[in-house]
Amino acid sequence: MEEHGQKSWPVSHYQQEGERISNWFADGVKKQHRTLGTWINALIGAGFVIEHLNEWGPTAEQIAANPALDEEKERPMIFILRARKAG
């Protein structure tokens, strides 16, 4: 919690790709971190055409139904990408 009661979500070592240990859904989960640029460029390099990007956040209706989602409007919780193979 920062000054004035505002939350912040620091991004540490974003450019450093590789294995990380996460305690988000469960403790000790191993994951492979990649930057968004790495993911998108890998798709382009493999011949995919990117059709849509969405950084999902809850709607006002979703927050009203589930108030715990309120803090999720401050940062994208999920990155959604649609791509298709060219040709």
What rounded mean pLDDT belongs to the chain?
Answer: 89
Tell me whether residue 9 is in a domain: no
pLDDT score for 28 = 94
> Structure pTM?
0.69
- Across-strand partners of 18? 33
Tell me whether residue 30 is in a domain: yes
Tell me whether residue 60 is in a domain: yes
Q: What's the total number of domains in the chain?
A: 1
**For residue 1, pLDDT beyond 60:** no
**For residue 11, pLDDT beyond 70:** yes
> Stretch 65-71: mean pLDDT, rounded?
91
Burial bucket for residue 62 (CB in 10 Å: 0-12, 13-18, 19+)? middle
Tell me whether residue 33 is in a domain: yes
Tell me whether residue 3 is in a domain: no
- Which two tokens mark 39? 């993911």
Tell me whether residue 39 is in a domain: yes
Tell me whether residue 11 is in a domain: no
Tell me whether residue 38 is in a domain: yes
Strand segments, DSSP code E, in the chain are: 18-22, 29-33, 48-56, 78-85
In tens, the pLDDT along 30-52 reads: 999 999 999 999 999 999 999 99
Closest CA relative to residue 39, chosen from 75, 83, 74: 83
28 backbone dihedrals φ, ψ, rounded to 5°: 75, 20
Domain residue limits at 25: 18-85
